[in-house]
Each structure stands twice: as C-alpha cells, then as structure tokens.
C-alpha cells in the first residue's frame, strides 16, 4: 500500500461500483435478486425530495444505502425490546434497527425482527446494525463475537458492524477499570478481521463508534475497506462538529446516537427553551425538531423509544424543514457537553492509563 492509500482507493471504488452485498458464491437467481434490490433502493433515492434532511435513504461509500431514521435500543428494557422492534418495523415503517451486545437485549431484538419477517417484511428491506464490544477487540475474537451476535439476532448477516468503543478491555474489567483492565488495542489487526467479514458476506458494511478524529485518522492509514459509518453522540447540546467535519472530509457517513439528549442526565433537550420555542413555531414535537436538526446536518438518527406513539412520531420527519433562522438558534445552544463520556467504563483517575475524560477523547471535548 503506498503512502496515498492506493489499495484503499481501488477497493473503495470497486465496492461503490458493485453496490451490493459482499459476495459469497452466488447463483444467477441470487445475483438478480440483489440487483433488483439495488435498483429499488436507487429508485427510492430518486423519488425522495432532493433537499438535504428529507432523504429517507443515504448512500454510503460502499454503494449501499442506510435509512436516515432508525430505532435505537440502548437502555430499552428487555421485556419491551421485542415489541418495540416489531411495532417500529410493521406499524411505523422503520427499516433500520440499531443494537449491541452491551445492551444485553439482542435476543429480544432478534425475536422482534423475526416476528416482523414472519409478518411479511423482506429481510433485504431491513438495515440491522450491531457492534463489537471492547472485550472482543482482539483479532482472534472478532469473528466469534459476530457469530454470537448473528445467533442472538437470528440473522445470516448484518448490514453494519461497528467497533463500539476504541478501547480494548480485559474480560471481567471493573468500573472504574484497574490499569491492568485496559489492554493494548491492535486497531489494524481488528480491522483486518472485520474486512474479512465483509469479504465473506457476513457483514455488508463496517464502521466505528465513539472515535475521535485522531483515532479515525489512524484507522484510515491502515484500512483497505473504508469505514462506511461513524456513529457518535450528536444533538444541539453536543454538536460534535470536529468529528462530523472529519467524517465528511473522508466520505464517511455519520449516524447520531442519543439525538434527543438524555432525560436521565441533566441534558434533557426535550425541555430546552430554544427547542420548545422552535417546536411550537413549527407545530412539531420537541423530539421531532431535535431529530430533524440531525437530518438537516446530513446525519442519520437513531432515537430510542419503547412507547408506540413516540416511535411513530419520531419518524414523521419528512416533507417539512426547520427554517435557517431556527437552525441557527438551535446551533447557538451554548452549553456544549456530552451525555455519554465513557468515564465510568474507561477512566481511572489515579492509575490511568486514561486519567480524565479529556485524555479519553484526545482532548476533543
């Protein structure tokens, strides 16, 4: 690989040109089905309004498309997750579901997915995201971790597989971690294994979550398959402009998690005066305003809810826009801070290796 990343460029262009699921050995019928799927997706993109923020699907660097609104499942109660997933897909029209082993609800999510499939939703209409947890961030554990996720979700492949956090934890790590609980992270080795998952047809796209621009640049130096998605906390109370700009400069799509802020912290944007003012002006809910703000920045959003009415309301984001003056008001919220800092899981203030949130985020705070 040359210093300009030649092999990365050619593989990236090849994936874009193919624009379909990473190849296994396929018969003609399978290939025709995939080509039809891509044609339908392309038509959906053509039919969507051209204005940024009103696209129902967003094209990824691989050539695949990600739905702009998805259902988040973080902190969903296990007793509610299955029904929420089923309701979101079959009643509200969601096609993207985001989950992770850390959430300890993948089996419930899988049951909801299977119920939706049995109700007649085609698998290739869905976009399912999961993540590689920190204890599995070594090359020899990547494939088995994915296989466990596929088993729990009752799926043959994932649409998107993300590195959940760029920190390698020892099995059984405490909170806060001991210094010995934070292990060396072989980023290149782990990414090579994730690339193999793409080539083997077990995953369509790979990406990252909770990366800084510094860590993203490190990954881009070794990636042969470009990360398609970077999933980050983003909302008007934490715009996260630096990583958004870094991703845009590299053709990486950004998915905003916690796009409504957090009612469990003191960052409850649903009741923020600016958000409430804009929502009343537009005759929309504060949640819809926060989510539309994300779409108009060019990100996809994955709001979490287990309430059927809110699930349905959270996807009513198309056919209207936040005016520029109101966008500027939302962009001017001064108290910028994360609701998900990683401190509890990764910071040890006395022993390190990360002694502060600032160190954890490479001073991008």
Q: Coil, strand or helix: which one is 349? A: coil
pLDDT of residue 76: 72
> How is domain 63-268+299-319 classified at the CATH fold level?
TIM Barrel (3.20.20)
Token pair in block for residue 2: 């040359």
In contact, 304 and 266? CB cutoff 8 Å: no
Q: What angle do CA 70, 71, 74 make, to 5 degrees?
A: 130
At a CB cut-off of 8 Å and minimum separation 6, what does 196 contact? 143
In contact, 139 and 187? CB cutoff 8 Å: no
- pLDDT tens, per residue, the chain with 365 residues: 333 333 332 333 333 333 333 333 344 454 455 555 544 444 443 333 336 688 999 999 999 999 999 999 987 766 789 999 999 999 999 999 999 999 999 999 999 999 999 999 999 999 999 999 999 999 999 999 999 999 999 999 999 999 999 999 999 999 999 999 999 999 999 999 999 999 999 999 999 999 999 999 999 999 999 999 999 999 999 999 999 999 999 999 999 999 999 766 677 899 999 999 999 999 999 999 999 999 999 999 999 998 999 999 999 999 999 999 999 999 999 989 999 999 999 999 999 899 999 999 999 97
Question: Tens digit of pLDDT for each residue in 280-318?
Answer: 999 999 999 999 999 999 999 999 998 999 999 999 999
Whose tokens are 């949640």? That residue is 287
347 class by beta-carbon count within 10 Å (0-12 exposed, 13-18 middle, 19+ buried): buried
Going from the C-alpha of 296 to that of each of 19, 43, 198, the distances in angstroms are: 25, 21, 30
Residue 249: CB atoms within 10 A of its CB come to 9
pLDDT of residue 21: 35
Residue 103 known to be catalytic? yes
Pairing status of strand 300-301 against strand 253-257: parallel
What is the rounded distance in angstroms from the CA atom of residue 132 to the CA atom of residue 142?
A: 7
Active-site residue, selected from the candidate residues 94, 103, 161, 354: 103
pLDDT of residue 329: 97
pLDDT of residue 194: 98
HSE-up (13 A, CA, CB side) for residue 42: 10
Task: Write down the pTM of the prediction.
Answer: 0.85
Question: Tens digit of pLDDT for each residue in 81-140?
Answer: 999 999 999 999 999 999 999 999 999 999 999 999 999 999 999 999 999 999 999 999
């Amino acid at each position: 690989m040359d210093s300009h990343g030649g092999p990365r460029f050619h593989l990236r262009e090849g994936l874009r040109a193919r624009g379909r699921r990473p190849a296994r050995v396929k018969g003609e019928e399978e290939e025709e089905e995939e080509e039809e799927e891509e044609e339908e997706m392309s038509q959906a993109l053509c039919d969507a309004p051209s204005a940024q923020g009103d696209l129902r699907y967003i094209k990824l660097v691989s050539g695949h498309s990600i739905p702009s609104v998805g259902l988040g499942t973080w902190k969903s109660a296990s007793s509610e997750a299955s029904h929420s997933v089923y309701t979101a897909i079959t009643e509200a029209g969601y096609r993207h579901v985001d989950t992770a082993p850390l959430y300890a609800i993948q089996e419930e999510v899988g049951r909801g997915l299977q119920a939706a499939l049995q109700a007649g939703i085609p698998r290739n209409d869905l976009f399912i995201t999961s993540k590689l947890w920190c204890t599995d961030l070594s090359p020899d554990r990547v494939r088995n971790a994915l296989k466990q996720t596929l088993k729990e979700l009752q799926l043959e492949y994932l649409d998107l597989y993300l590195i959940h956090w760029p920190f390698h934890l020892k099995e059984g790590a405490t909170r806060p971690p001991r210094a010995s609980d934070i292990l060396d992270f072989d980023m290149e080795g782990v990414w090579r294994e994730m690339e193999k998952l793409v080539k083997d047809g077990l995953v369509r796209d790979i990406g990252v979550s909770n990366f800084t621009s510094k860590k993203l640049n490190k990954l881009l130096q070794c990636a042969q398959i470009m990360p398609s998605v970077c999933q980050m906390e983003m909302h008007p109370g934490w715009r996260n402009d630096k990583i958004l700009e870094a991703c845009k400069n590299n053709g990486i799509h950004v998915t905003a998690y916690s796009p409504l802020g957090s009612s469990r912290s003191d960052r409850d944007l649903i009741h923020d005066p600016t958000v409430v003012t804009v929502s009343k002006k537009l005759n929309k809910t504060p949640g819809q305003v926060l989510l539309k703000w994300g779409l108009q920045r060019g990100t996809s959003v994955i709001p979490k809810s287990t309430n059927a009415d809110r699930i349905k309301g959270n996807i009513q984001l198309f056919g209207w826009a936040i005016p520029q003056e109101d966008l500027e008001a939302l962009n001017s919220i001064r108290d910028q801070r994360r609701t998900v800092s990683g401190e509890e899981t990764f910071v040890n203030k006395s022993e390190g290796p990360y002694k502060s949130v600032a160190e954890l985020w490479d001073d991008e705070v």
